[in-house]
Structure 1
Amino acid sequence: MKLPATMQVFERGWLSSNNILFTGSGETALVDSGYASHAEQTVALVRHALQGRRLDLLVNTHLHSDHCGGNAALQRAFSCRTAIPAAEADKVRQWSDESLTYKATGQQCERFGFTDTIRPGESLTLGDMTWQALAAPGHDPHSLIFFSPDEGILISADALWENGFGVVFPELEGESGFAEVRATLELIASLDVRLVIPGHGAPFTDAGRALATAFSRLDYFVADPARNAQNAIKVLLKFLLLDKQGIAMADVETLMADMLLVREANARYLQKPAAELAQWAVAQLIRAQAARIEDGRLVNQD
């Protein structure tokens, strides 16, 4: 299925989320802005694609650093309006690194502001198409997804990928998350989706197969919540590695111990000594061929 002419998808990988650019006869808009270290690249991609037009509106599906890390750079470059999930407005207004999770994950995000908020149930016009904003809690309690009923296109953020979904972070902190993931997947299953644009990875058309995979993965986590914790710890270390590209082996334990979510996940589910946890996480990345050890450094490997 081809994208409408008024849409472009910049597939960015895993450090930065995908970006979706809308043009058309109305205002231009971008959904999600990637990670901070890719911010200037994001600005360059958007500027080139707009071919002299300005960016009018920036929309965030949720406020994890890989989806909003380019906000500040885009605001400087284009003076664009910025719309965020309404439930996050106070955190952004007060700019709390703790409540916005950046400190807890060891990630960076330059402070940004907002001009608009979006609530579940509201409609937006993007690229001359009407999009429904839908609540998609689970991976993030306040995440939104956007669905165009006329086109059958779903912007699913981290609620649905072709082979799963994002880490269920609330469960790491002892909050409910698995039930919310299930409800979000059931919501997506109720939609007439013909094309999914995920937060990471290529767009895909077989939503049914992706949902079956996601439900199976969810059942796997529910059967033993420690599996979600293990997955989260590996993902958080891999994200650091994607950002830094290399970490001295002597620093891995400290970097992991500095991440509140790693400490909470370990204390609640794994209860490994810090050194043992670091050794385990490194071994997991190496086994998955996501990293290698070279000259005393843990080196990223894609």
Structure 2
Amino acid sequence: MSAAPALPDSIRVFERGWLSSNNVLLVDDARTALVDTGYATHAGQTLALVQHALGNRALDLIVNTHLHSDHCGGNARLQAHWPCATLIPAASAPIVREWDEARLSFLATGQTCERFGFTGALVAGKRLALGGFDWEVIGAPGHDPDSVMLYAAGPRLLISADALWEHGFGVIFPELDGESGFAEQQAVLEAIAKLDVQTVIPGHGKPFSNIDEALARAFSRLDWLRAEPARNAKNALKVLIVFKLLEVRTMTFDALVAMLESASSMRAAAQQLAPRAAWPALLRDLAGELAKSGALVVNGERLEAPAAAV
């Protein structure tokens, strides 16, 4: 693993463990801004991190790359503490304005997010002055159809959210519901490859500078998923199970089966993998695989988060 590259003094990354995405704090003489705010249960920690870093200054702006719960779950807490402006992807604006829970992803994934407001929208091609640099908003559908990235040509920095990690990218959620997502993810990776990027700040994991290697891994993984879409569904279900377990710490197999009925993204993933009658067996098989990898512990009829998990 390579060491994390140095960043400009005006940019600080709070690398978070699951359940939260990374938070990127950008500070200049004009204003302070935070890109993505983590998960709801970590909101107090997010607030404390930002308060400590800013000292006597207030947070002026929140920028959300997309509205999955691990990226916007701290919005409400930060907004309650500071009267900060908030920018969200333009396509998500009507959904948030109405707080349409059928279209927001929180219920669909079995996750939570306190209601928040917004003051403006992020449109592809729009430019933002943050941390002393000029950033271009770039559309990044694939993992999420409304997602955006931020690119600063001067320092050759890309805030990639979940479109590109050092070792992959986020679950391609649209494909679970029969919508196109693989092609969009391919286009986003190709767009990143055309940018002059020295450092990527991902949504999860440390910043990295081995861009070509990361892209090669991402293209290879995408080809593997496209060859057999059930692989994306299986990965999605595993990710959502582990995420929920890290939140609640322990749950029964029966409770997990019930989640498939109430969380539509989980249900859609399960439907690609097995008939409804076989879902209990499917979940036991997945839990067994996750236990072998150390992602959870199976204790009789209960699933438990590993003791070392944060």
TM-score when normalising by structure 1: 0.97
Over aligned residues, Cα RMSD in angstroms? 1.2
Deviation of the 1:234 alpha carbon: 0.4
Which residue does the alignment assign to 2:286?
Answer: 281
Which residue does the alignment assign to 1:203?
Answer: 207
Deviation of the 1:296 alpha carbon: 4.3
Deviations 1:43-81 (A, max 9, x none): 111011001100000000000000000000000011100
Which residue does the alignment assign to 1:167?
Answer: 171
SS of the counterpart of 1:211?
Answer: helix
Deviations 1:191-217 (A, max 9, x none): 111111100011111011000000000
2:83 is aligned with 1:114: no
Task: State how far apart, in whole Å, the 1-side matches of 2:108 and 2:190 are.
Answer: 30
Task: State how far apart, in whole Å, the 2-side matches of 1:97 and 1:64 are.
Answer: 12
Task: State how far apart, in whole Å, the 1-side matches of 2:256 and 2:91 are.
Answer: 34
Deviation of the 1:29 alpha carbon: 0.3
Task: State how far apart, in whole Å, the 2-side matches of 1:207 and 1:169 are.
Answer: 24
Given that 1:256 and 1:278 are in contact with CA atoms closer than 8 Å, whether structure 2 keeps it comes out as no
Deviation of the 1:15 alpha carbon: 0.8
Task: State how far apart, in whole Å, the 2-side matches of 1:280 and 1:92 are.
Answer: 37
Task: State how far apart, in whole Å, the 2-side matches of 1:173 and 1:78 are.
Answer: 37
Task: Report the more deviating stretch, 162-171 or 243-252.
Answer: 243-252
Task: State how far apart, in whole Å, the 2-side matches of 1:277 and 1:159 are.
Answer: 29
2:27 is aligned with 1:23: yes
SS of the counterpart of 2:102?
Answer: coil
TM-score when normalising by structure 2: 0.95
SS of the counterpart of 2:51?
Answer: helix
**Partner amino acid, structure 1, of 2:186:** R
SS of the counterpart of 2:50?
Answer: helix
Give 1:187's match in structure 2, choosing from 179, 187, 191.
Answer: 191
Which residue does the alignment assign to 1:133?
Answer: 137
Give 1:253's match in structure 2, choosing from 252, 257, 274.
Answer: 257
Task: State how far apart, in whole Å, the 1-side matches of 2:260 and 2:42 are.
Answer: 23
**Partner amino acid, structure 2, of 1:282:** A
Task: State how far apart, in whole Å, the 1-side matches of 2:208 and 2:288 are.
Answer: 32
Task: Report the more deviating stretch, 253-262 or 80-89.
Answer: 253-262
Deviations 1:10-66 (A, max 9, x none): 001121000000112110000000000000110111011001100000000000000
Which residue does the alignment assign to 2:299?
Answer: 294
- Write out aligned runs for 1:33-44 (5 A): 33-44=37-48
- Alignment gaps of 5+ in structure 1: none
Which residue does the alignment assign to 2:271?
Answer: 267
Deviations 1:228-277 (A, max 9, x none): 00100101101101111221334222223322112112223443522112
Which residue does the alignment assign to 1:100?
Answer: 104
Task: State how far apart, in whole Å, the 2-side matches of 1:3 and 1:245 are.
Answer: 35
SS of the counterpart of 2:190?
Answer: helix
2:149 is aligned with 1:145: yes
2:91 is aligned with 1:87: yes
- Alignment gaps of 5+ in structure 2: none
SS of the counterpart of 1:263?
Answer: helix
- Write out aligned runs for 1:215-234 (5 A): 215-234=219-238
The percentage of aligned residue pairs carrying the same residue is 52
Task: State how far apart, in whole Å, the 2-side matches of 1:128 and 1:208 are.
Answer: 27
Task: State how far apart, in whole Å, the 1-side matches of 2:300 and 2:182 are.
Answer: 40
Task: State how far apart, in whole Å, the 2-side matches of 1:193 and 1:72 are.
Answer: 32
